[in-house]
């Protein structure tokens, strides 16, 4: 009872496994101090064991990680259980910022063309490398679609895994807005999104429509003439035509606006159409499980807003597809070949800072009102962000089984991001 940080648990009643070097979720309030506090609690009347055997990576990757990250707090050297494989364990590719992805894919294509081999755990022997053996890590989700699109232009299937990537696609967002608008005429936010995204109207078109006395509720009678009225009448007719399912009116809307035809012409067109097929399947499944059309839309909206949603990928997980994900979603994952691209994220300033270690919160209001120690608080947070940056680089570097590939526009800058103080020549020796 009482404060769990003060009262030690009874012996045998607490068991915890964790790695503070992989604490990379400050933005979710999972501060590294949580694990440190728990470790201190267990240590009051318990035992701490360190896991030192690495069953994932080849010795070259294990040794390189120890060389680069060995000075991190709590770092424990590991011993590789595996023997060396056929691929070079660590590869650096220096590239212009705009060409990083191109150079990364050239490297991968070269491995495939050369008949590179990776270790197959099930067979216990080397086998020919497949595209499904590759995982590409990016620092933010906004970069993932570009990676997948370039792979698809190469004729390589790609899976954007983790995060809310399915509902963040333009085609799915617009389709969901269409369902919201058709379900509730008063949802003018969704209607405006549909008018602009599917019917091609501009803000100026909507402004002229409202200035002439029109509204964005398609049930409003006697709207002023123009393209906005024509689009609103289409929505009204579609709402009236819905009978047993949302799928037919949605398909009719996509056909009449020619949106699906336009998406099909894009580089990732088949992926967009596949997402629409997945959405149709979700609608039909929800329609079997729910009592009303409005509940179907509500369930879809809830899924789209769910922060910890399981990935709804567009590809079959058993297919031979490259896995594209972020450093943050890569925790717990692994692949024979891991490529780290564009390993940068800007340090962000916030109007609110929470110190869980000190139990305090600091808030800045506007440009004028802030605590006297605000500058020191901001600098301390930047230092914590830098420390976490290094931890997410550690996570990225420890996903590879056979080969770890770094691609960056400035190798010296990347080494600074990764090693923070380890000189370039030392890194080169470690990689070799």
pLDDT per residue as tens digits for the range 220-258: 888 999 999 999 999 999 988 777 889 999 999 999 999
Rounded distance, CA 228 to CA 404, Å? 53
Two structure tokens written together for 384 = 């914590």
The residues, any chain, with a CB within 8 Å of residue 53's CB and separated by 6 or more, are: 78, 79, 81
Chain segment 41-87, per-residue pLDDT in tens? 887 777 788 889 999 999 999 999 999 898 888 788 899 999 999 99
Question: How many Cβ atoms from other residues are within 10 Å of residue 248's Cβ?
Answer: 13
Per-residue pLDDT of the chain (432 residues; tens, 9 = 90+): 677 777 767 778 888 888 888 887 776 667 788 888 888 888 777 778 888 999 999 999 999 999 989 888 878 889 999 999 999 999 988 887 778 888 999 999 999 999 999 999 889 999 999 999 999 998 877 777 778 878 888 888 887 765 446 787 889 999 999 999 999 999 999 999 999 999 999 999 999 999 999 999 999 888 999 999 999 999 999 988 777 889 999 999 999 999 999 988 876 677 788 788 888 988 988 998 888 899 999 999 988 887 444 444 433 445 688 888 888 888 888 999 999 987 766 667 778 888 877 778 889 888 778 888 888 888 888 888 888 888 888 999 999 999 999 887 655 555 555 554 333 443 343 333
End-to-end CA distance of the chain: 54
Rounded distance, CA 127 to CA 57, Å? 17
Give the pLDDT score at 259.
93
Rounded distance, CA 283 to CA 286, Å? 5
Beta strands at 125-128 and 117-120: parallel, antiparallel or unpaired: antiparallel
**What 3-state class would DSSP assign to 175?**
helix
Q: Map tokens 């990083």 to a residue.
A: 100
Rounded distance, CA 353 to CA 355, Å? 7
Two structure tokens written together for 138 = 């990016």
**What 3-state class would DSSP assign to 246?**
coil
Beta strands at 90-94 and 400-408: parallel, antiparallel or unpaired: parallel
Closest-CA residue to 300 (of 169, 173, 141, 170): 173
Rounded distance, CA 164 to CA 305, Å? 9
Rounded distance, CA 114 to CA 129, Å? 10
Rounded distance, CA 217 to CA 133, Å? 51
Give the pLDDT score at 53.
94
pTM over 0.75: no
Give the pLDDT score at 165.
62
């Amino acid at each position: 009872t009482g404060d769990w940080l003060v009262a030690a648990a009874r012996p045998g009643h607490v068991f915890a496994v964790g790695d503070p070097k992989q604490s990379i979720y400050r933005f979710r309030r999972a501060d590294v101090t949580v694990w440190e506090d728990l470790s201190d609690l267990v240590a009051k009347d318990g035992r701490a064991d360190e896991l030192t055997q690495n069953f994932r990576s080849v010795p070259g990757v294990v040794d390189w990680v120890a060389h680069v990250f060995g000075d991190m707090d709590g770092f424990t050297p590991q011993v590789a259980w595996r023997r060396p494989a056929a691929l070079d364990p660590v590869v650096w590719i220096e590239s212009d910022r705009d060409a990083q992805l191109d150079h990364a894919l050239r490297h991968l294509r070269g491995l495939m063309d050369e008949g590179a081999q990776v270790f197959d755990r099930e067979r216990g022997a080397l086998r020919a490398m497949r595209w499904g053996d590759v995982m590409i890590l990016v620092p933010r989700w906004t970069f993932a679609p570009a990676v997948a699109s370039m792979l698809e232009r190469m004729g390589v299937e790609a899976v954007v895994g983790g995060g809310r990537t399915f509902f963040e696609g333009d085609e799915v967002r617009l389709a969901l807005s269409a369902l919201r608008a058709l379900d509730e005429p008063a949802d003018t936010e969704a209607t405006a999104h549909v008018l602009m995204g599917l019917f091609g109207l501009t803000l100026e078109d909507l402004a002229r429509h409202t200035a002439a006395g029109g509204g964005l509720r398609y049930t409003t009678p006697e709207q002023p003439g123009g393209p906005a009225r024509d689009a609103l009448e289409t929505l009204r007719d579609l709402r009236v035509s819905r009978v047993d399912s949302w799928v037919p009116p949605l398909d009719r809307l996509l056909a009449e606006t020619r949106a699906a035809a336009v998406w099909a012409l894009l580089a990732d067109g088949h992926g967009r159409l596949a997402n629409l097929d997945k959405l149709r399947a979700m609608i039909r499944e929800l329609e079997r499980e729910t009592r009303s059309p409005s509940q179907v839309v509500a369930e879809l909206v809830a899924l789209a807003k769910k922060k910890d949603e399981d990935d709804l990928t567009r590809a079959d997980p058993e297919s031979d597809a490259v896995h594209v994900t972020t450093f943050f979603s890569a925790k717990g994952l692994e692949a024979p070949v891991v490529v780290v691209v564009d390993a940068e994220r800007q340090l962000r300033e916030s109007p609110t800072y929470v110190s869980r270690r000190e139990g305090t919160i600091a808030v800045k209001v506007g440009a004028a009102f802030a605590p006297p120690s605000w500058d020191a608080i901001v600098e301390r947070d930047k230092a914590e962000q830098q420390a976490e940056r290094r931890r997410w680089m550690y996570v990225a570097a420890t996903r590879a089984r056979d080969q770890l590939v770094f691609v960056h526009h400035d190798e010296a800058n990347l080494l600074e991001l990764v090693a923070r103080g380890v000189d370039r020549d030392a890194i080169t020796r470690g990689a070799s």
